[in-house]
């Protein structure tokens, strides 16, 4: 960025890196889902075959642990979905900023560093002397216009 006010059209972050991280989370999610499924199927006992306080305590602990594993699984899946959505938003904003740079270039605005759009150079204001000369050297209109 320069010392002039410029529009920075950079978008930080690489969508492909973010998708790769999401894929790693999905791999963990799949492993946890498999673990959760095994936990539900193998650790739960036939409730009718085992009675008493120990059976109820074991069943309560198995249900509680299964619920906690499921919560952990859900969190990994949620993180996976969030990262995928974030990567998609970055893709959208990359395209949007590219379009803005193309429009700025079309409008003849200077672009530096491939990303910073500089403001247009100001249009100089006309001076009264130049305006009066352009009116044929007469100051009558200027005096009338200015109230003089």
pLDDT digits (tens, 9 = 90+) for 42-62: 666 565 677 788 878 887 887
Q: What is the pTM of this model?
A: 0.66
> Residue 109: is its pLDDT beyond 70?
yes
Backbone angles phi, psi at 45, to 5 degrees: -100, 170
Do you know the residue count of the chain? 148
Residue 6, pLDDT > 60, answer: yes
Query: DSSP 3-state assignment of 117?
Result: strand
Helix then strand then coil, % of the chain, to nearest 5:
65, 5, 30
* pLDDT above 90 (res 40): no
Q: How many CB atoms lie within 10 A of CB 52?
A: 8
Rg over alpha carbons for the chain, rounded to the nearest Å, is 34
> Tokens 């699984």 map to which residue?
73
Q: In terms of pLDDT, which residue wins out, 121 or 49?
A: 121
């Amino acid at each position: 960025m320069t010392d002039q006010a410029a529009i920075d059209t950079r978008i930080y972050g690489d969508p492909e890196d973010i998708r790769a991280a999401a894929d790693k989370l999905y791999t963990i999610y799949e492993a946890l889902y498999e673990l959760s499924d095994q936990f539900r199927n193998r650790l739960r006992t036939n409730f009718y075959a085992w009675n008493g306080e120990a059976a109820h305590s074991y069943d309560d602990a198995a249900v509680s642990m299964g619920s906690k594993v499921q919560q952990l699984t859900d969190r990994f899946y949620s993180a996976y979905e969030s990262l995928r959505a974030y990567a998609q938003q970055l893709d959208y904003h990359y395209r949007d900023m590219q379009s803005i740079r193309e429009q700025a270039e079309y409008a003849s605005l200077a672009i530096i560093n491939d990303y910073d759009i500089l403001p247009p150079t100001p249009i100089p204001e006309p001076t009264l002397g130049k305006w009066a000369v352009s009116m044929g050297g007469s100051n009558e209109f200027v005096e009338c216009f200015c109230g003089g």
